[in-house]
Amino acid sequence: MSTPSLNTSRANPTSTVVSRGVLAVACGVVLLASASTGFLILGSDLSVASPSVESVESEFGAVSANESEIRTRMVVDNPNERGFPVPATVGYTIYLNDVRAAEGSTSLDGLPAGRNEVRVPGTFDNSKVPAWWVSHVNRGERTELTIAPTVSVAGVYSESLPNRTTTVETDLLGPLAVGGTETVTVAGEDLLVVSNRTASWGEATAERTPVRFGVGLRNVHDRPVELEGTEYRIEMNGVVVGEGTTDDGIRLEPGESGRLPVNAALDSARMQDWWVSHLRRGETTTLSVEVYGVVEEDGERKRLPLSAFDRELRFETDLLGDGSTSVEPVAGNATGSVEPPEVTGTRSRWGEATDEYTEVVTEVGVRNPGSAYADLVELELREGTSINGVVVSNGSTTAELPSGNGTLALVSRQDNDAVPRWWSRHIDNGERSTVVTETRGTAEVGVTTLPLSLPDRERSVSTDVLSEVESDEPSAVSVGGRDVATVPGTTAEWGDSTPERAPIEMTVTVTNERSVPMMLRDVNYTVALNGVRLADERELDRTFEIPPKTTRTLEFTLYLNNSRTAAWWPTHVRNGERSELTTEAYGTVEVFGASERVELDFLGTNATVETDLLAEE
């Protein structure tokens, strides 16, 4: 080791001396000095005063992961008239709450008389920080920093001098607990009011440093709010010193208040990493605490982007100086950043059509915000469709949504037994139906549910079956290959329909072209949609007589079996909402004393009936 340079001067008699004593040198001890040193020879039976340390000034220098340089300037006073011409050593040891954390020393060729400024290099053992941290917390964030100086002169003097002690106090948790009320919002809706935060240390050990946070919560939402646990993260200068999850949960009904405890812990061993960052930033640290809600989905715990405890502070220390500390809180917020999904559009189509039911498949376009918490969002959709006030289908689906735009398929089943009810109303409404689809949605965002705004869809559907049954085209009634009567046209009107039957009031004008009376009897008719017979050879309980060369108006009623529309409907859907309407009738005509069974063309029809119940307006 190179010999340190000394600034030497005579001690000022009025200066403060930290430690001073008298050293008795044994008789016969002779200290020899060379001519160049200027030291005198001390004879036998001489008394020598012991050196003292007037001041110690230290600061941190270069910092590495395991140790930190300490640069120390010590002022040592040799009160004797003559200096010591033999090697001397000046050193110190630093204790933090009895934890030996640092030491330093330097060797001198001698100790001149008077005031000597000595630069003493030292090393702070960073591995001792966790033990010191534990003691600091367990003593109420209080540390006694002790510097124990030593001065020794070879063969003459060696003694530990009075300690220099400084008290270092911090209050890291106090500023974390301050702050008024804050409101947590989700998608623009107030959810929780946060207030009355608390923070306290538990008993620290070499493994962990418990810290308990508490926060008052009030549910200002119109639905229950539930947290099944918490996830916390504590950082000091970006060093994660504590993180984990707890089972501390809470459920609040609308308007209810409660307290959420968070039993967190710091990893005591990580305080060494923090300490290195603290020194590298000039003994400055930014401490942040974040506590988020946690929910459980399918056995997996997921973090919510809702921070009930979000605080940050900045503190500074002057450990080797006057021991002063300062703590300054930085604003934090209890926030919610969950954005519910948005329904961008809906459209419906037919699915499977069986004899029992007919599926309605509704495709719902969804935009799910592309955030880090998008996978928390679960969408529940419910849909109901009614035709003319008759509920024909209900369905629901629940799905977890990926980020971005997508489509969900909601399948509902229409019971075909409902067809006669809405079809009879369709007839009574002048063959016009109103189809209303109501879609309701709820976004499950972990902590609560949010309603989705989905407009109802309403559309009108019309048919004109009667126009296919009646006709303004002339037709003839033939017997034996000869026309016996003409029919210039027919008209039809619906009667009052029920789910069981639908009456068609027919008016037929018939002219008997012959000079003898004509009789029409035993008329039966068939009406079918896609081969499903709504009237199956039904017979009119009427007999019509038309005098010779006379025109008569015949009025009668055809009855359709509306209950058979349940069987017709799936065929209509499978055929793209298209049906072939066929009607035919036969009757017995008596004329010229003979009778013949003939087809009545004026009651015959072949037409197409089309609908589009799921069309978008």
Q: Band the pLDDT of 50: cuts 50, 70, 90.
A: confident
The closest of 78, 79, 154, 86 to 118, measured between CA atoms, is 78
Of 291, 310, 330, which residue sits at a domain end?
330
Same domain for 260 and 318, yes or no, is yes
What pLDDT was estimated at residue 43?
Answer: 40
In a domain, 263, yes or no: yes
- Sign of the CA dihedral with 185 first, then 186, 191, and 192 last: negative
| Tokens read off for 604 | 């015959």
Q: Is the model's pLDDT at 36 over the cut of 70?
A: no
Q: Which domain holds residue 72?
A: 7-169
Q: What is the largest CA-CA distance in the chain?
A: 179
**Per-residue pLDDT at 171:** 92
Mean pLDDT for all residues in the chain: 83
Arithmetic mean of pLDDT, 437-448:
69
For position 230, what pLDDT does the model report? 87
Give yes or no: residues 321 and 237 share one domain: yes
Q: Mean pLDDT over residues 159-164, rounded?
A: 78
How much is the pLDDT for 448?
61
DSSP characters over 327-380: EEEE-----B-----EEEEEEEEEEEE-SSEEEEEEEEEEEE--STTGGG-EEE
CA atoms within 13 A on the CB side of 324: 3
Element at 274 (helix H, strand E):
helix 271-280
Mean pLDDT of 339-352: 78
Q: Is residue 358 part of a domain?
A: yes
Paired tokens of 478? 């033939």
Among 164, 2, 9, smallest CA distance to 76 is for 9
* Integer Cα distance of 10 and 81 in angstroms: 9
Residues 428 and 469 in one domain: no
Same domain, 164 and 16: yes
Pick from 153, 169, 185: which residue ends a domain? 169
Q: Is residue 335 part of a domain?
A: no
For residues 391 and 275, membership in a common domain is answered with no
- Does residue 615 belong to any structural domain of this protein? no
Q: Give how far Cα 364 sits from Cα of 245, 333, 342, 350, 551, Å.
A: 36, 36, 10, 14, 61
- Cα separation, 405 vs 558, whole angstroms: 54
Tell me the pLDDT band of 207, cut-offs 50, 70 and 90: very high
First to last CA, the chain: 95
The 10s digit of each residue's pLDDT in 291-324 is 887 776 666 766 666 666 778 889 999 999 998 9
153 and 234 inside one domain: no
Q: Which of 462, 487, 512 is the last residue of a domain?
A: 462
- The number of folded domains in the chain is 4
User: Is pLDDT of 134 > 50?
Assistant: yes
Are residue 162 and residue 219 in the same domain, yes or no?
A: no
Q: Side chain identity at 135, as an amino acid letter?
A: S
Is residue 295 within 8 A of residue 301, CB to CB? The reply is yes
Query: Could you tell me which of 337, 546, 519 has the C-alpha nearest to residue 446?
Result: 337
In a domain, 145, yes or no: yes
**pLDDT reading at 159 higher than 70:** no
Residue 469 dihedral angles phi and psi, to the nearest 5°: -80, -45
Using left for φ > 0, alpha for ψ between -120 and 50, and beta otherwise, residue 229 falls in left
Q: Given this model, what pLDDT does residue 497 score?
A: 96
- Are 232 and 214 in contact, with CB atoms under 8 Å apart? no
Scanning the structure block, which residue is given the tokens 């229950």? 224
Residue 525 corresponds to which amino acid?
A: Y
Beta bridge partners of 363: 347, 409
Mean local confidence (pLDDT), 575-586:
95
> Which residue would you say has higher pLDDT here, 234 or 46?
234
d(CA 479, CA 608): 30
**Residues 151 and 77 occupy one common structural domain:** yes
Least Cα distance to 309 among 237, 231, 238 occurs for: 231
Residue 336 lies in a domain: no
Helix (H, G, I), strand (E, B) or coil at 163: coil
Question: Between residues 293 and 586, which one has the greater pLDDT?
Answer: 586
Mean pLDDT of 173-201: 80
Contacts of 302 (CB under 8 A, 6+ apart): 294, 295, 296, 375, 376, 446
Query: How do residues 509-539 score in pLDDT, each as one tens digit?
Result: 999 999 999 999 999 999 999 999 999 988 8
Q: pLDDT exceeding 90 applies to what percent of the chain? A: 51
Half-sphere exposure of 315 (CA within 13 A, CB side): 24
Query: Do 394 and 541 fall into the same domain?
Result: no
- Residue-wise pLDDT for 483-517, tens only, equals 999 999 999 999 999 999 999 999 999 999 999 99
pLDDT tens-digit series, residues 367-413: 766 554 455 456 777 888 899 999 988 888 776 665 667 777 888 88
Q: Compute the average pLDDT of residues 172-197.
A: 78
Strand partners of residue 213:
199, 262
Structure tokens at 210: 């418990």
* Over residues 546-573, mean pLDDT: 95
Determine whether 32 is exposed, middle or buried from the number of CB atoms within 10 Å of its CB (0-12, 13-18, 19+).
Answer: exposed
Contact 465, 581 (CB under 8 A): yes
Alpha carbon distances (Å) from 368 to 70, 103, 380, 407: 56, 60, 13, 10
Residues 469 and 598 in one domain: yes
Q: What is the CATH number of the domain that holds 21?
A: 2.60.40.10
Indicate whether 1 belongs to any domain: no
Q: How confident is the model at residue 35 (pLDDT cuts 50, 70, 90)?
A: very low
- Lookup: tokens for 573: 């859907």
Same domain, 184 and 318: yes
Rounded to 5 degrees, what angle do the CA atoms 460, 382, 368 make?
105
φ/ψ (deg, to 5) at 34: -80, 165
User: Which residue type, as a one-letter code, is found at position 270?
Assistant: R
Rounded to whole angstroms, the Cα distance separating 555 from 497 reads: 18
Q: Is residue 337 part of a domain?
A: no
The string of pLDDT tens digits covering residues 238-275 is: 999 999 988 888 898 999 999 989 999 999 999 999 99
103 — pLDDT class (breaks 50, 70, 90) = very high
| 531 CB-near residues (< 8 Å, 6+ apart) | 571, 580
CB atoms within 10 A of CB 234: 23
Same domain, 321 and 383: no
pLDDT attached to residue 363: 82
**Residue partners of 590: CB distance under 8 A and separation at least 6:** 518, 519, 521
